Amino acid sequence: MSALDLFKRSQGTNNSPRLNSLDRQDSVRFNLYKHYYRFYSGQHWEHERDDDEELITANICASLVDKHATFLAGQEWYLKDPDGDTGRPEFKYVDKVWEYSDKFTTFYEMAHGGSLFGDVFAMVAPDDKGEIKVQNVPPVYVYPTFHPDDKNQLLSAVVEYPVYDLSSSSPTVITFVIDSQKIVRYVNGDKTREVFHGFGEPPLVHIPNLPYPGTQFGRSDLSSVTALQQIYNSKMTDNSDIIAYHSSPITIGYGVRINQLERGAEKVISGLDKDARVENLETKSDMAGGIDFAKQIKKLIHQLGNAPEIAFGAADELRFSNSSGLALQMLYQPLIDVLKVKYGYYGLGMKKINRLILMWGVRTMQVFEPLTAEARRKFYNVEVGFHDPLPRDEMLELTKIITKLEKGLMHMEDAHQELGHRNVLEYMRKIKDDIESGTNLAYAATSPDGDQTSFQGEITNIGGVVRDGGTVRQSIQQEERAQED
């Protein structure tokens, strides 16, 4: 029994016009998936050459997908809170579930599949051990049904995939029928397990890689480059044929038999009649023009694929290696622009996943939902942040941040976030503890008599704030007077 048959049975009808429409839509979507996967796997040619000569396959598509996935998922993402406090129990629980789900691998698979196919599906469900887990589901196995009036609302889905066993001639088909209350598992059409999740929505999150107008599905990073990839391979093959011919040209003899040709010690043909002539067949093709055309096609592939050549270590761009961070970002700007859009879509999807994790935690009493509506809103609002994938001059960044703090132009929590600190409030408390224990290097040493208002340096750090020595003494005196009062 196929996934669609199970899905129709779960809906109570076998003749739904809406399902027939979805069939056509799924067919178009799966054909696109197949097309992109064929190019990623290097299957760019649909024919073999009659002369048994090789076909050049320069797989730029695979490099583009890998680069986009690395830029999105290469730097580990982190949980963040608008108030900077990620030390709350709900954050610890979400982080524990992600670690159990193999955080880095799962998200990289999501980023890589999204870049290749254009769609990401992540299922949040208990595994065979009863532990909640986030699993990346390849979109080629998913048959989703969205709300007709809200393309972002998933109503139900069928996930079906084959499992191959060398001992069997046919694969085992595993099928999951997912709705707003339960997940039913089938093996070759036979029901084997039913899990009640009680989320009130399918525990399957869809993330479009990039927006695709007019549909709820996403756009692949290869959507504009596969045709150019074919042209590039064709021109590279032509250039290869020309080079191969020049390295082993065809010799033509006029008025002479082949067996009459004699080669001397210096490979000079001699002993010919006076009217005989021997020459190599010359090609009249413009090889330089072909090479320049191939270069232009490759440049177009990088432009339309939003991945500049410098991202792949192009030699003519490496002269900028000692440029400032701003100059480097300008060189990577096409990739950065796409990355910012992906941050929005993947960030929203990750937030939905985290909400489902917390709903399971509340149901299993591993975390407890607050009583007030405002507290519940904050409880389920577990967002994620992404690190800048480009290298930065940390000393320049630190100098800029210190200058803003000294001029009163930046909040301390924002400064810590720019420095990449995750749990800002907890981090600031640790800095304060270091200051009080005397282990903070920016805090000046105390005098031999233990007078903590005596400082050797002009700049110090108290409470996570960079201040001069006089300000620090004034702050301590104010705190002492406040305690006396």
Instruction: Please write the tens of the pLDDT for every residue from 180-235.
Output: 999 999 998 899 989 888 889 999 999 999 998 888 899 999 999 999 999 888 88
| 85 pLDDT above the threshold of 80 | no
Instruction: Say how many CA atoms lie within 13 Å of 44 toward its Cβ.
Output: 23
In sequence order, what are the residues at sequence separation of 6 or more whose Cβ sits closer than 8 angstroms to the Cβ of residue 449? none
Separation in Å, CA 155 to CA 135, 140, 147, 205 = 19, 18, 6, 11
Residue with tokens 């879509």: 345
Which of 401, 404, 405, 403 has its CA nearest to residue 462?
A: 405
Query: What is the tens place of the pLDDT at every residue in 141-195?
Result: 999 999 888 888 899 999 998 888 877 778 889 999 999 999 999 998 899 989 8
pTM over 0.85: no
Residues paired with residue 161 on neighbouring β-strands, in sequence order: 174
| 376 pLDDT above the threshold of 60 | yes
Q: What is the dihedral of CA 128, 133, 138, 141, to 10 degrees?
A: 40
In sequence order, what are the residues at sequence separation of 6 or more whose Cβ sits closer than 8 angstroms to the Cβ of residue 63? 307, 312
Q: How confident is the model at residue 289 (pLDDT cuts 50, 70, 90)?
A: confident
Count of residues in the chain: 485
- Residue 16: DSSP 8-state: -
Q: Are 185 and 127 in contact (CB under 8 A)?
A: no
Q: How many CB atoms lie within 10 A of CB 223?
A: 17
Q: What is the dihedral of CA 204, 210, 216, 222, to 10 degrees?
A: -100
